[in-house]
Amino acid sequence: MRFVLLTGGAGYIGSHTYLALHAAGLTPVILDDFSNSSPVVLERLQRLTGQPVLCERGSVADKARVQALIERYKMTAVIHFAGFKAVGESVAQPLKYFANNLGGMVSLLQAMDATDCRTLLFSSSATVYGDPATVPITEQFPRSYTNPYGHTKLVCEDMLSALCASNPAWRVGVLRYFNPVGAHPSGLIGEDPSGLPNNLMPYVAQVAVGKRPFLNVYGRDYATPDGTGVRDYIHVEDLAAGHVAALQKLLSASENFTVNLGTGQGYSVLEVVRAFEQASGQLVPCQFAPRRSGDVAQCYADASLAHSLLNWRATRTLADMCADAWHWQSCNPDGYR
12 is catalytic: no
Q: How far is the CB of 222 from ligand UD1 (least distance, A)?
A: 8
- List the one residue from 198, 224, 265, 278 that touches ligand UD1 (CB under 6 A): 198
Residues 128-167 vs ligand UD1: string with x where CB under 6 A? ----------------------x-----------------
Our finding on whether 125 is near ligand UD1 (CB under 6 A) is yes
CA-wise closest residue to 59 among 78, 83, 94, 43? 83
CA distance 314 to 306: 10
Residue 328 CA: distances (Å) to CA of 74, 77, 89, 135: 35, 30, 26, 31
Q: How many of the chain's residues bind ligand UD1 (CB under 6 A)?
A: 21
**Which of 12, 18, 149, 177 is flagged as catalytic?**
149
CA distance 252 to 230: 36
CA-wise closest residue to 244 among 88, 76, 12, 19? 19
Our finding on whether 200 is near ligand UD1 (CB under 6 A) is yes
Rg of the Cα trace of the chain? 19
Cis peptide before 136 (omega within 30 of 0): yes
Our finding on whether 206 is near ligand UD1 (CB under 6 A) is no
Which positions ≥6 away from 168 have C-beta within 8 Å?
Answer: none
CA distance 236 to 248: 19
Chain positions 247 to 286 lying near ligand UD1, rule: CB under 6 A, are 269
Our finding on whether 18 is near ligand UD1 (CB under 6 A) is no
Q: How far is the CB of 4 from ligand UD1 (least distance, A)?
A: 23
Beta-strand ranges (E) seen in the chain are 3-7, 27-32, 54-57, 77-80, 119-125, 171-177, 179-181, 215-218, 230-231, 233-235, 257-261, 267-268, 286-289, 298-299
- List the one residue from 21, 217, 241, 323 that touches ligand UD1 (CB under 6 A): 217
Our finding on whether 54 is near ligand UD1 (CB under 6 A) is no
- List the one residue from 89, 271, 295, 302 that touches ligand UD1 (CB under 6 A): 295
Our finding on whether 199 is near ligand UD1 (CB under 6 A) is yes
Chain positions 81 to 110 lying near ligand UD1, rule: CB under 6 A, are 85, 87
- Hey, which residues are catalytic here? 149
Residues forming contacts to ligand UD1 in the complex (CB under 6 A) are: 85, 87, 125, 127, 150, 179, 198-200, 203, 215-218, 229, 231, 269, 292, 294-295, 299
